[in-house]
Amino acid sequence: MSAERRLAGVPASPGLAAGPARHWTAATALDAARVEPPERPAAVVEANTALQTAAAEVEALAAGLNEADAEILITGVLMAADPTLLAGVERAILDQGLSAAAAILSSTEEQAALLDSLGDEMLAARASDVRSLGHRAARLASGGSDGPASRPTEGIIVAHDLGPADVAELGTAISAIALASGGITGHAAIVARSLGIPMVVGVGAALLALPEGAEVIVDGDAGAVLADPEVGHFEAARSASAARQQATQQAKAMSSLPAVTRDGVRVVVLANVAGAAEVEAALGAGAEGVGLLRTELSFLDRSSWPTALDHRLFFEPILAPLEGRTATVRLLDFGGDKTPPFLSGQHGRGIDILLRHPGALRDQLSAMLAAGRGTHLHVLVPMVYEVRQLRAVRAALTESAAAAGVPVPLLGAMIEVPAAVTLADQVVREVDFLSIGTNDLTALQLGLDRAEPGAKPAHHPAVLRLIDTVCRAAHAVGVTVAVCGESASDPTAMPLLLGLGVDELSVGSSRVGRVRAWVRAVDHAEATALAGLALLAESAQDVEKLVEPLRTALLAS
């Protein structure tokens, strides 16, 4: 019997999982064999080709994938073509006789170590990307024997570091990820979160000493890895992890079941996404399309407005799988905590900023119209508070659509500022659909700081009354209402939203299956009755009491 050991790390993606440790050594098993001088020039060519191929692979994966910024990944890719790196690789081969793979690894590691040593979090994240690229290229150079097929496909993935592209490739079949290092800004972590994979980073070298196949627990909430876990702990974690996998499987299996309430009301369930991996996961779980594509997250560290080409590269991998489906693209929502360097000091948020830069708006519109040709494209305007903004966007949209020779897509307003609710009767006449952003709406209505932790109860009667006003105004003129905030996948708020008349729910891709199951468990008339009473309640707690029996039933469904 060995005692349970706790290896402390940093929580990166929530959830508890147990399983056998699977080391992803990522091309560290190198042939130490020296390359003879006559073959060295060929090895240099081989190394350059491997770096180029790896760069192309990462670029393709990254363009779609990141809730973090493509910019950083692209920087990693550019580094693969960096003359300093290439020179280093060349010297390592020609002078020291290293193999192509070994030369790539040592040179990228040198670059990464340099970035690490600067003590800047952003640059440390870049170091991860450079390492990840190096490993990828090294695998290619050593004959691709460590290609996707031979990588671990299940269990707990243990590695020194992973890039976001690696996490996306590992997919949802694995139970969890534990990294010895890992940038704190964590691009890999963002991908893990969006795929619902528990992850702990910064565990330290002790992690890599775990024997292959050893049973371990990853606690993504506490940020720890438990080695030699006690039987009770292991079983509890394994059942949590089995339940999560089962839920994913079940969501897949039930993805063909319609999202219809017990009394026959159809509810459209869509996904909130920022990249192609999430689109794939969401469609697999039965999402009918995308209800919110966040477009600004990839450009947060930009030093200038993204170009039409940047937008095309971003949109194409995301919109391609959405052919024939709803693709709701939100215009760049910069400002507040999402202010890139090139906008620092500018006031306003969302559409206000974009309207001050009509060229930037046109670039994004023309790119989405081109990339979204086969989809049912919906254009969503962020942070609307008056109809002037909607008219300006519609004018630009009509013009861009005419230029692209495509029909004008549907136009919608985000309802996330109470002012837009007060003016709802005006707003609904300018749009084809509405999407309520309950996170901001709740914070602004209740005077809470959005960035502060703590409860943001969208089921507060003061917020529910706003939603009720919006639904009534919209339905009076035949405009559909979606909710794309956290509340759409909250078991207390979700039935009330349906009861108030919300037509569509857009939720995180890992929650699509669950929310569809809830829809099937809800009786729409019962939800309407509860919502009617919730509007009269005096506090969020009163509403919680009212919904408690239904909430319990949903969680058990």
Partner 1 sequence: MMDAATITTWMNEIAGAVRAERDYLIQLDAAIGDGDHGINMTRGFDAVVRALAQEEDGTPGKLLTLAGKTLVSSVGGASGPLWGSALRRGGRALGDAPTFDDGKLVEALQAALAAVVDLGAAVLGDKTMVDAMDPAVATLRREVDAGTVLPVALRRAAEAAEVGMRATIPLQARKGRASYLGERSIGHQDPGATSTALIVRALERTVAGSQ
Q: Which is nearer to partner 1, 287 or 466 (CB)?
A: 466
Q: DSSP characters for 3-52?
A: --EEEE-EEEE--EEEEEEEE---S-S---PPPPGGGHHHHHHHHHHHHH
3 state SS for 374-409: CCEEEEEECCCCCHHHHHHHHHHHHHHHHHHCCCCC
Binding part of the chain for partner 1, among 23-31, 227-235, 290-298, 527-535 by CB under 8 A, reads: 527-535
Query: How many other CB atoms are found less than 10 A from the CB of residue 513?
Result: 26
Choosing from 532, 539, 552, 555, the residue that interacts with partner 1 (CB under 8 A) is 532
Choosing from 277, 310, 528, 554, the residue that interacts with partner 1 (CB under 8 A) is 528
Binding part of the chain for partner 1, among 33-41, 284-292, 349-357, 526-534 by CB under 8 A, reads: 526-534
The amino acid present at 512, given as its one-letter code, is V
Q: Which is nearer to partner 1, 85 or 550 (CB)?
A: 550
Q: Which residues are catalytic?
A: 187, 484
Residue 462 as a binder of partner 1 (CB under 8 A): the answer is no
Choosing from 50, 414, 546, 554, the residue that interacts with partner 1 (CB under 8 A) is 546
CA distance 58 to 162: 12
Contacts (Cβ under 8 Å, ≥6 apart) of 503? 267, 268, 480, 481, 482
Say whether 332 sits in a helix, a strand or coil: coil
Nearest approach, Cβ of 522 to partner 1 (angstroms)?
A: 14
Choosing from 536, 539, 541, 555, the residue that interacts with partner 1 (CB under 8 A) is 536
Interface mask (CB under 8 A) for partner 1, residues 249-268, using x and -?
A: --------------x-----
Binding part of the chain for partner 1, among 31-39, 294-302, 313-321, 520-528 by CB under 8 A, reads: 520-528
Residue 529 as a binder of partner 1 (CB under 8 A): the answer is yes
Nearest approach, Cβ of 526 to partner 1 (angstroms)?
A: 7
CA distance 305 to 285: 35
Taking CA atoms, 417 is separated from 342, 414, 506, in Å, by 25, 8, 18
Q: Which of 261, 186, 179 is nearest to 502 (CA)?
A: 261
Residue 533 as a binder of partner 1 (CB under 8 A): the answer is yes
Q: Which is nearer to partner 1, 228 or 526 (CB)?
A: 526
CA distance 427 to 433: 10
- Could you tell me how many residues of this chain bind partner 1 (CB under 8 A)? 13
Strands 480-483 and 504-508 come out as parallel
Nearest approach, Cβ of 348 to partner 1 (angstroms)?
A: 37
Choosing from 173, 231, 402, 525, the residue that interacts with partner 1 (CB under 8 A) is 525
Binding part of the chain for partner 1, among 71-79, 396-404, 490-498, 529-537 by CB under 8 A, reads: 529-537
Q: Are 278 and 51 in contact (CB under 8 A)?
A: no
Choosing from 5, 266, 388, 545, the residue that interacts with partner 1 (CB under 8 A) is 545
Which residues form the interface with partner 1 (CB under 8 A)? 263, 525-526, 528-533, 536, 545-546, 549
